[in-house]
Chains A and B, each alone.
Chain A
Amino acid sequence: MIRTFAQLASLFSVLSLSAFGGGKVILPSMHQAAVGEYAWMNDQQFVDLFSISMAAPGPSMMVVSLVGLKACLPYGTAMAILGALIATVAMFLPSSLLVFVAGKWWDSWEDSPWRRSIQQAIMPISTGLILGATVIIAKTSIHTVPTAIMGLVALALMLFTKINPVLMMGVAGMISWFFLR
């Protein structure tokens, strides 16, 4: 149990400092650790938890809390909550401390041309990582013709309309419940 706590803390504090371009970019690593290396859950559970966290309010990557919850669920409800808490703190504290510390020097190099360079350099890396995350989600979530159609419709809606993503996921869930159950 203590070992699981330590694994959660070290995994997410390292990933916290690697999430250049937002929380979504670390999803491939989170999947690899949670499903592969530590075997806390299977593919289906990981993708389900990810979707639940996307449909719930709050910052992106609350899936971190759910990974912590599942990792410690075998040890009981209280430990599961503690595991979720440890994972969440490990995910959000290091990057927040960095904002706090870096903010002090920010003024002096805000106008440096390297700032623009680094900003533009982060973009293709985070795009590649989000693409990797999308492939992981797609492999598990898109397995039949109806789910493929729903995924494509969802993509089109997100790209071409201003529909609220949570509303869209809720409606997709209801449609799917109505037709697929």
Chain B
Amino acid sequence: MENPPAPSPRAPEAGSHPATVIPISRPRPTLWEIASLFAFIGMTSFGGGLTAYIRRLVVRQKGWLTDDEFLPGLGLVQLLPGANVVGLSVYIGNHLRGPIGAIVALSMIITAPFIMVCTLGFLYFHAGTTTDTKALLAGVTAAACGLMASMVFEAGQKAITGIWDIFLIGLTFVLVRGTPSFELYHHHVPSLPHLHVPYVIMIVAPLAIWCHRPRSNNNSHPQNKEVQS
């Protein structure tokens, strides 16, 4: 009776080696499995803490990636612009199945939420002016405002490591919100316009990076040239 070992799609480079050589055979998910997991994440992800949620699903439950593979991806997407969840889905999809995997993961994590918000959007614009929906939305927007304010506290807690950070937060806020004109010691100070976010970042980022430039531990002088290489 023949019982051939199942071909391992995980390691095509193993070629002629017997299957037992592969130390840990991790499952290599199919595109379908990637699609269904990321559709699930898209439909069940709410609010914050999503990167921890994805890590639990992909690393702990499915075992598709190890922490050694997942955490560099997290570091990467935190550094790059864009929503972390979206970046992570691209990173994980690409890691598992190449560009096609990235496209599948990205589109699946967006599709269900997209249909959902568009449906809600149409409902809002067709029935948005009744007293019932107005009253309902008054509560939802107030709570959403509280949620945003809590994010300011959470981000601020991580951001503020010194007096400079408080200055940087204030500068960013003033640049993006603009200022009214006012009189200072009989001098007219003109109003500052709202600046768009890309310009704000271009102005504040060099300053912020300089404030947080690498410094060696036993020497207060920045050793930039040494570490830049």
When A114-B214, A137-B144 are in contact, do A59 and B86 touch as well, CB less than 8 Å? yes
Whether A128 pairs with B86 at a CB distance below 8 angstroms is no
When A48-B137, A130-B155 are in contact, do A120 and B161 touch as well, CB less than 8 Å? yes
**Least CB distance, A80 to chain B, in whole angstroms:** 8
Residues of the A chain whose Cβ atoms lie less than 8 Å from the Cβ of B102: 96, 100
B85 at the interface (CB under 8 A from A): yes
Q: Which residue of A lies closest to B82 (CB)?
A: A95
CA distance A50 to B143 in the complex (A): 12
Chain B contact residues, majority secondary structure: helix
CA distance A17 to B197 in the complex (A): 10
Mark interface residues in A92-119 (1 if CB within 8 Å of B CB, else 0).
1011101110110011001011111111
Mark interface residues in B205-216 (1 if CB within 8 Å of A CB, else 0).
100110111100
Whether B176 pairs with A57 at a CB distance below 8 angstroms is no
Mark interface residues in B100-136 (1 if CB within 8 Å of A CB, else 0).
0010001001101110111011101100100110111
Residues of the B chain whose Cβ atoms lie less than 8 Å from the Cβ of A124: 159-160, 164-166, 168-169, 172, 208
CA distance A128 to B227 in the complex (A): 29
When A98-B82, A142-B142 are in contact, do A57 and B43 touch as well, CB less than 8 Å? yes
Query: Which one of B77, B201, B212 contacts A99 once the chains associate, using CB atoms below 8 Å?
Result: B77
Whether B46 pairs with A57 at a CB distance below 8 angstroms is yes
When A131-B173, A150-B142, A154-B146 are in contact, do A92 and B86 touch as well, CB less than 8 Å? yes
Residues of the B chain whose Cβ atoms lie less than 8 Å from the Cβ of A129: 172-173, 176, 197, 200
CA distance A151 to B143 in the complex (A): 5
**Least CB distance, A116 to chain B, in whole angstroms:** 7
CA distance A121 to B160 in the complex (A): 10
Whether B42 pairs with A59 at a CB distance below 8 angstroms is yes
Query: Which one of B79, B90, B138, B155 contacts A118 once the chains associate, using CB atoms below 8 Å?
Result: B79
CA distance A21 to B156 in the complex (A): 12
Whether A47 pairs with B141 at a CB distance below 8 angstroms is yes
**Least CB distance, A39 to chain B, in whole angstroms:** 15
Residues of the A chain whose Cβ atoms lie less than 8 Å from the Cβ of B73: 103
> Across chains A and B, which 10 residue pairs bring their CB atoms closest together, nearest first?
A58-B113, A176-B139, A154-B146, A128-B172, A95-B82, A158-B150, A113-B214, A123-B159, A172-B143, A165-B47
A12-68 CB contacts (< 8 Å) to partner B: 14-26, 28-29, 32-33, 36, 45, 47-63, 65-66
A1 at the interface (CB under 8 A from B): no
Whether A65 pairs with B118 at a CB distance below 8 angstroms is yes
Given contacts A95-B86, A120-B212, 8 further A-B contacts (CB under 8 A): A17-B198, A59-B110, A88-B110, A103-B91, A117-B209, A117-B212, A165-B46, A181-B136
A123-181 CB contacts (< 8 Å) to partner B: 123-135, 137-138, 140-142, 147-148, 150-159, 164-166, 168-177, 179-181
Residues on B lying within 8 angstroms of A by beta carbon are 42-48, 50, 72-73, 75-87, 90-91, 94, 99, 102, 106, 109-110, 112-114, 116-118, 120-122, 124-125, 128, 131-132, 134-153, 155-156, 158-161, 164-166, 168-173, 176-177, 194, 196-198, 200-201, 204-205, 208-209, 211-214, 227-228
Residues of the A chain whose Cβ atoms lie less than 8 Å from the Cβ of B77: 99
Residues of A in contact with B, size category: 35 or more
Residues of the A chain whose Cβ atoms lie less than 8 Å from the Cβ of B91: 99, 103
CA distance A110 to B110 in the complex (A): 28
Query: Which one of B134, B148, B168 contacts A24 once the chains associate, using CB atoms below 8 Å?
Result: B148
Whether B113 pairs with A56 at a CB distance below 8 angstroms is yes
Whether A81 pairs with B118 at a CB distance below 8 angstroms is yes
Residues of the B chain whose Cβ atoms lie less than 8 Å from the Cβ of A70: 121, 125
Whether A172 pairs with B170 at a CB distance below 8 angstroms is no
A69 at the interface (CB under 8 A from B): yes
Whether A19 pairs with B114 at a CB distance below 8 angstroms is no
A6 at the interface (CB under 8 A from B): no
